[in-house]
């Protein structure tokens, strides 16, 4: 498994597909979760989706061939493992930062 820290965009995309979600829904949910701080453009989103599909961190959940080929994606078990590893890494950073700030750094 890749131990590289996740980009913020990938972190939020994985969070947004914990239940089946389509591209526009992912963009909206990420914007809501971050109160508009993170705005995913279509290029960023679909580039990341392609990468996540190749890594098998997400999979195609459904495809509506009638309405502009809307596709829904969902996180895979491997994607959940990667996401949880990142949450543990971020928690460790936060714990260590709090220790240092209590020491007056």
| Domain membership flag for residue 1 | no
| Domain membership flag for residue 60 | yes
| Domain membership flag for residue 14 | yes
At 48-73, the pLDDT tens digits run: 999 999 999 999 998 777 766 789 99
Q: How many domains does the chain have?
A: 1
Q: Which of 55, 101, 100, 62 is nearest to 78 (CA)?
A: 55
At 76-94, the pLDDT tens digits run: 999 999 999 999 999 999 9
| Domain membership flag for residue 28 | yes
Q: Which two tokens stand for residue 40?
A: 């995913």
| Domain membership flag for residue 69 | yes
Domain interval for residue 53: 8-102
| Domain membership flag for residue 2 | no
pTM strictly above 0.85: yes
CATH of the domain at 62: 1.10.10.10
């Amino acid at each position: 498994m890749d131990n590289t820290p996740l980009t913020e965009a990938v972190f939020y995309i994985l969070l947004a597909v914990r239940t089946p979600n389509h591209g526009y829904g992912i963009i909206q949910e990420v914007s809501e979760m971050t109160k508009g701080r993170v705005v995913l453009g279509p290029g960023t989103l679909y580039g990341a989706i392609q990468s996540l599909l190749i890594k098998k961190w997400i999979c195609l959940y459904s495809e509506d061939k009638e309405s502009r080929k809307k596709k829904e994606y969902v996180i895979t078990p491997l994607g959940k493992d990667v996401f949880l590893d990142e949450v543990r890494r971020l928690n460790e950073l936060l714990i260590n930062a709090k220790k240092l700030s209590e020491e007056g750094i």
